Structure 1
């Protein structure tokens, strides 16, 4: 099948993934490259392990069946291309660099699409193509519309004579697949025509009620996806509920001045900047969820290599360097930090859409967002980017759970938008990963890699040299805090003034340019020895999770906690380095949360049995944070002791 649909790389490779915006099905090998391109180039979804809107899946299958692949390989189908040396990659070619370079040329650079004859007025050409798109969407010929979009037709084109957009036309004609394609390319379901009617209005008036309901879902796609990521539920749009905003138990209580300032700063952002921030967080949610599905569906007899890992959001060349750096830093937030940011965005999106005023009436900020649907937009304000590189402190406290699951369901159903829930309750319902098995496999591989690195460092520790070094964390070697942003200020220096970063909190950075020499840090050998104990106990916990031996959770967590306590005791109570403090904080707080989560595996008398899938997810997340923090501490002490 891959022979027909993609690159002829392997006739045995079944296409298990789809690129939604390119309209093609792809195999695992090709998908590993597609994921590294970024959503602006290829929007990747698994065919069976990812929830699909049925009409969107039907749209992709229709494009695939009607030869959408030929649109992206247009010039290669020309016999003259053979003479020019252009060719597709062969099945026997290596993934890197041969196949990956071809995939990038095909889908990122669009090197093989049809090129229109050069004309003096490019805007006139785009307008003509957009008018053709406007006419074509009333039919079911999807591949024609995709070809027009590939040539530069605009999905949101407003026809000056007709007074509406292509989506208005498709909605009135009941062309569901055309509507799906247009919205994937940024068409706005809430855009008014010259009479003030939206595509949703046109669909309802024409009796296409299912299409109208789907367009409403698309209009709220961004906030729906964020809500589902947090609590595994979506709003009931048919009954007028458009937002679910889970709340931290402490989100409205005893907020620090910095936390209050952060919320006020978010509220004061213009709608344009707020929407950019929301879209960046949406992309990060997509990256995290796709990573989980990817790991769950791979052959776990071999390690997932660096070539298949997407540790942070790929660079979007349409965005400023400042915005791209901020997008990359989102990968460094742990579950609690990232959830805090997501909740703040959901809360403010609801406020803006409903037109509620901000705290200060004199802040003359436009409050209504026309649409928070995901769409492509230009980066026109490069020098006015929001500070969103970090969130509030990781030092959250454990909260008690309600006495039963019924209490949780009742509290959520009574007021999904506003009712606060406890931190642990929030963690239970958070759907940060698509499946617990995916996280198990991810952490098993992280621990395998960590064990390999520990053995390597043990050999090096006996003969520490100035030039010795070790492999960096996949996350921590990719961010450039010393670089200057567009306004000429170092981004590190702006974190605390932005209000997102609480006093004393930090996101650990291994390349900490400000870290002073600290003679009180323990030896590398001692830290490695304690990390090995932690790693061994985590692997035991993971085996118990895989074998559903939930009764082993508590003793495993106790052993991990003891090992963590012993490791933390190696360090001074107040290390000089902020980076060390941040790593120790993540290590110890994650160990406490792990104990709390493992206790939930034991049913309480008189209460319904726990949801073991949710409990296992959170146990694995805590274990992952512990392993990550331990690895950071090994790396930091190794760097310190070799300098």
Structure 2
């Protein structure tokens, strides 16, 4: 696409010049800010790709450009083009509008609720209307009028509609007519290239018989799109479908020795799933691959010096209202898999997909094995997500036990390492491949020894920290009861006595599930709606760390701890701890709380960018900004709130800020080893997550109470 043409393009949602992203299923081009909102909608609403940094099939990109050039956006903004819409107060977003709430509300209304789409006249039987629309689609795909077909699809026409009189589907007609762009559009909306007509022929057969060889080859690629995308994610290659190679099964270089009973049992569970359940799991993993790849493109194309809270990465798959809450929960937990764990799950799915297509015997001379040296390519390591214990309770549910088996056990299956590598080998191994495997194993062994040394060092550090924590708990208990005569026992931060000792937290409280492997902190943690940017670490295992962190969630620092920390919050927290008086039920204005929350989140993102760029000298200034913002937010609330939820959230907010300041002070020391720096950085991330979580809780409670 020429620069001259690109210069005339504007964002379909806010009219900003030179949009760099596209929504494939909507046929529009969008700017960076609007793209951040589209990604939050989920792929079921909008499938986004970067115009230059994302891999595109040529015909699919041509399809999107044709739709955009022919005014596809008017389909989604039909009623806004009516002059009466300006009178009614309806208007389109503009580049100067704030991302939240202005652009967000407009884009959600436009694509999720279809508020501006032209509605068909109401009829008693909606199924008849859908059937009529599908018949119109069946007739329209033989022409090159893409926007007409997109309009029919937007109104409810079915891409896989089987015409009872014609005995075939719209994709059969498009293939016979050689309409490759229509075929791309139908495929985006779910058309099946393997669907059979009344004579048992597929659209691929139609295209070949009509002499449209390029279209036939593209339909074969679409048929294997899911497995091809998973393969390309791991090893950067796609199968050669023209020569009959339809699968490439990557293999982890360090997994051949894992023959544990747990791994074998997990593989059997995956293989025992019904085809329908397996397809659902595969589609969810496909969506997670798309999320991780798009995250990588997003981070690579953003100006990080001007990045604000409104344009951030998407931490896990958004909720799809058409799925059960159990399946949504399983989809979101895929983001918690480390790069190694997720790659293992992808390999198992590819292996079983091949087995299900070829039968139990997966022998095919055209198929081969791609070895992933050193575990995983470095590019995908940067995308590995292990968001340790995010909060998924908003979609938790006990319904749909079959789905739970699929997304619960199957997700656990992904934690297994790929075993029995002999089952994956389809041909002889060359000398070069053997030397590569030998070199990879040697390097892996050296890396394991190095990690074992680091792990021993960290274990000793954690033991000392646990000992110090126990000492502080004892000291705190003594200080609480050794008070001058005539005074009451010290109270908690906001008038409620807080136990120092941590209690065991269930998986439902922490959002955690039992882990089968040592986990790795590859990303900043997040809560629903509070988004923190990820950054890569060296992946050292930190066994035992989660216990220390979780037990510290509900603790309140005593006076001596606050004084030692040197935090700007120390004085205000000490003052609060000694407050006496009646409980106050009043809460601040919701807008004020949101404003302070945005300020806190922006400062946290600045801190996380510093962590991502390993600028540890910036930790302390960032923590001071965060502490100041937390102090201002806490000042909005009464000193003794009557709501226990508010008290707990304020306690978590201020104590986490104090802990953050203390950890950032440690990072400023010059005599820290790399392992110490990593541990401190992870503690900083934990504190930042707790602050963001508490701020969000305060916004939620304040909004709910003020609305009541």
TM-score, normalized by the shorter chain, greater than 0.5: yes
2:407 match: 386
Distance 1:410 1:34, change over 3 A: farther
Partner Cα distance (1:510, 1:131) in 2: 47
Partner Cα distance (2:611, 2:95) in 1: 39
Partner Cα distance (1:628, 1:408) in 2: 43
1:563 match: 673
Kindly provide the CA deviation profile for residues 14-73 of structure 1, in whole angstroms up to 9, marking residues without a partner as x: 111111000011112211211111111111011111111010011011101110000001
Q: Is the 2:14–2:92 contact (alpha carbons within 8 Å) kept by the matching residues of 1?
A: no
Kindly provide the CA deviation profile for residues 63-121 of structure 1, in whole angstroms up to 9, marking residues without a partner as x: 01110000001111123323333221234322211111101111121111111111111
Say if 2:144 is the partner of 1:140: yes
1:36 match: 40
1:97 match: 101
Partner Cα distance (2:296, 2:612) in 1: 23
Q: Is the 1:333–1:390 contact (alpha carbons within 8 Å) kept by the matching residues of 2?
A: no
Say if 2:247 is the partner of 1:247: no
Secondary structure of 2:90 counterpart: coil
Distance 1:294 1:45, change over 3 A: same
Partner Cα distance (1:292, 1:196) in 2: 42
Partner Cα distance (2:23, 2:141) in 1: 21
Structure-to-structure mapping, 1:362-401, within 5 angstroms: 382=403, 384-387=405-408, 388-390=410-412
Distance 1:393 1:276, change over 3 A: closer
1:9 aligned to which of 14, 17, 25: 14
Distance 1:160 1:297, change over 3 A: same
Say if 2:516 is the partner of 1:502: yes
2:81 match: 77
2:290 match: 286
Which runs of no fewer than 5 residues in structure 1 stay unpaired? 359-378, 397-406, 427-463, 469-479, 484-489, 542-558, 568-586, 589-625
Q: Is the 1:283–1:313 contact (alpha carbons within 8 Å) kept by the matching residues of 2?
A: yes
Q: Is the 1:246–1:420 contact (alpha carbons within 8 Å) kept by the matching residues of 2?
A: no
Say if 2:155 is the partner of 1:156: no
Kindly provide the CA deviation profile for residues 524-563 of structure 1, in whole angstroms up to 9, marking residues without a partner as x: 989x9xx99x95993499xxxxxxxxxxxxxxxxx99972
1:118 match: 122
TM-score, with structure 1 as normaliser: 0.64
Distance 1:80 1:251, change over 3 A: same
Q: Is the 1:393–1:505 contact (alpha carbons within 8 Å) kept by the matching residues of 2?
A: no
1:444 match: none
Partner Cα distance (1:90, 1:232) in 2: 39
2:242 aligned to which of 200, 219, 238: 238
Structure-to-structure mapping, 1:516-595, within 5 angstroms: 516=551, 538-539=614-615, 563-566=673-676
CA-CA distance at 1:254 after TM superposition: 3.5
2:231 match: 227
Partner Cα distance (1:408, 1:561) in 2: 49
Partner Cα distance (2:329, 2:442) in 1: 31
Secondary structure of 2:120 counterpart: coil
Q: Is the 1:2–1:10 contact (alpha carbons within 8 Å) kept by the matching residues of 2?
A: no
CA-CA distance at 1:308 after TM superposition: 2.4
Structure-to-structure mapping, 1:305-324, within 5 angstroms: 305=309, 307-324=311-328
Give the root-mean-square deviation of aligned CA atoms.
4.5
Distance 1:85 1:4, change over 3 A: farther
Return 121-130 or 381-390, whichever deviates more.
Answer: 381-390
Partner Cα distance (1:25, 1:18) in 2: 4
Partner Cα distance (1:116, 1:519) in 2: 55
Q: Is the 1:393–1:506 contact (alpha carbons within 8 Å) kept by the matching residues of 2?
A: no
Kindly provide the CA deviation profile for residues 417-450 of structure 1, in whole angstroms up to 9, marking residues without a partner as x: xx99957999xxxxxxxxxxxxxxxxxxxxxxxx
Distance 1:78 1:517, change over 3 A: closer
Structure-to-structure mapping, 1:180-259, within 5 angstroms: 180-259=184-263
CA-CA distance at 1:502 after TM superposition: 2.2
Return 74-83 or 263-272, whichever deviates more.
Answer: 74-83
Distance 1:239 1:155, change over 3 A: same
Aligned length, in residue pairs: 469
Partner Cα distance (1:519, 1:295) in 2: 34
2:508 match: 482
CA-CA distance at 1:413 after TM superposition: 14
CA-CA distance at 1:510 after TM superposition: 9.2
Secondary structure of 2:406 counterpart: coil
Q: Is the 1:23–1:61 contact (alpha carbons within 8 Å) kept by the matching residues of 2?
A: yes
Say if 2:72 is the partner of 1:68: yes
CA-CA distance at 1:393 after TM superposition: 6.4
Kindly provide the CA deviation profile for residues 334-390 of structure 1, in whole angstroms up to 9, marking residues without a partner as x: 2111111111111111111111179xxxxxxxxxxxxxxxxxxxx996565331445
Partner Cα distance (1:134, 1:215) in 2: 18
1:601 match: none
Partner Cα distance (2:76, 2:431) in 1: 48
Distance 1:175 1:424, change over 3 A: farther
Say if 2:344 is the partner of 1:340: yes
Secondary structure of 2:318 counterpart: coil
Partner Cα distance (1:103, 1:518) in 2: 37
Partner Cα distance (1:189, 1:182) in 2: 10
Q: Is the 1:246–1:421 contact (alpha carbons within 8 Å) kept by the matching residues of 2?
A: no
TM-score, with structure 2 as normaliser: 0.58
Partner Cα distance (1:17, 1:519) in 2: 43
Q: Is the 1:18–1:25 contact (alpha carbons within 8 Å) kept by the matching residues of 2?
A: yes
Q: Is the 2:33–2:99 contact (alpha carbons within 8 Å) kept by the matching residues of 1?
A: yes
Structure with larger Rg: 2
Which runs of no fewer than 5 residues in structure 2 stay unpaired? 1-5, 363-399, 419-428, 445-490, 496-505, 528-545, 568-606, 618-668, 694-708
- RCO higher in structure (CA 8 A, sep ≥6): 1
Secondary structure of 1:482 counterpart: helix
Partner Cα distance (2:404, 2:690) in 1: 34
Secondary structure of 1:308 counterpart: coil
